[in-house]
Amino acid sequence: MTVPLRVLGISGSPRRHGNTETLLDAVLEGAREAGAEVEKIVLRSLDYASCRGCNACHRTGVCVIQDDLTPVFEKIAAADVLAVASPIYSMGITAELKGLIDRAQYIWARKFIMKTLYFTAEHTRHHKGIFISTAGLGWENVFDAAFPAITAFFNTTGFEYWDNVIANDLDRYGGIAGHPSALAEGWEKGREVVGLLRKLQAPEDAEA
């Protein structure tokens, strides 16, 4: 029996229904049409605090802050695909998304300090991370400063950094709707990742 694939999209844009969230929606729609269960979380609608740097999680493995991000991390742990979206602000990701990433410190502590959490290579192979981003500038390197934080987040949470869906030069195009290929590429990427994970599931389904 095929287990439903769960795709979780997280929008880190402070602007609702702007270029980045629209591109995220295209990825999620492609995944939905491929048969996945899809959910989107909009960080700007949540009430949460940034990491305090107290390091209590280094001793307990638990974040002392209990707020709207607490259930978000539970949903991340349950997802098969994590699609994280942020526009480029001041050559990096938004404060909304950085706040989420910093709060994952308790997971990092479990892995590397307490050593009570370990993601096998097989687990990571079956969990894919996608970074979705837009930028007004046409510079080819405009996304470069965002990649290390996204890489660290996927590594910490047990996802393979599978691919990017990025679109720059949007000032010239007048927004994402004017880009000649980004939305179609996002939709196709959503379908592709679900198809890939279905193929990875196939041997398990055959044995069941």
pLDDT at residue 208 is higher than 50: no
In a domain, 199, yes or no: yes
- Give the mean pLDDT of 152-163: 98
In a domain, 88, yes or no: yes
In a domain, 130, yes or no: yes
In a domain, 1, yes or no: no
| CA distance readout (Å), 127 to 154, 204, 205 | 10, 15, 17
Two tokens, residue 146? 């965002």
Q: pLDDT for 55-80, tens place per residue? A: 999 999 999 999 999 999 999 999 99
In a domain, 173, yes or no: yes
CATH number at residue 150: 3.40.50.360
Q: Which domain holds residue 157?
A: 6-207
In a domain, 139, yes or no: yes
Two tokens, residue 174? 């007048």
Q: pLDDT for 116-146, tens place per residue? A: 999 999 999 999 999 999 999 999 899 999 9
Q: How many domains does the chain have?
A: 1
pLDDT at residue 175 is higher than 50: yes
pLDDT at residue 27 is higher than 70: yes
Answer with the residue of higher pLDDT: 186 or 2. Answer: 186
Q: What is the pTM of this model?
A: 0.94
In a domain, 145, yes or no: yes
Confidence band of 3 (pLDDT split at 50, 70, 90) = confident
- CB contact at 8 A, 100 and 27: no
Distance CA(10)–CA(12), nearest Å, equals: 6
In a domain, 114, yes or no: yes
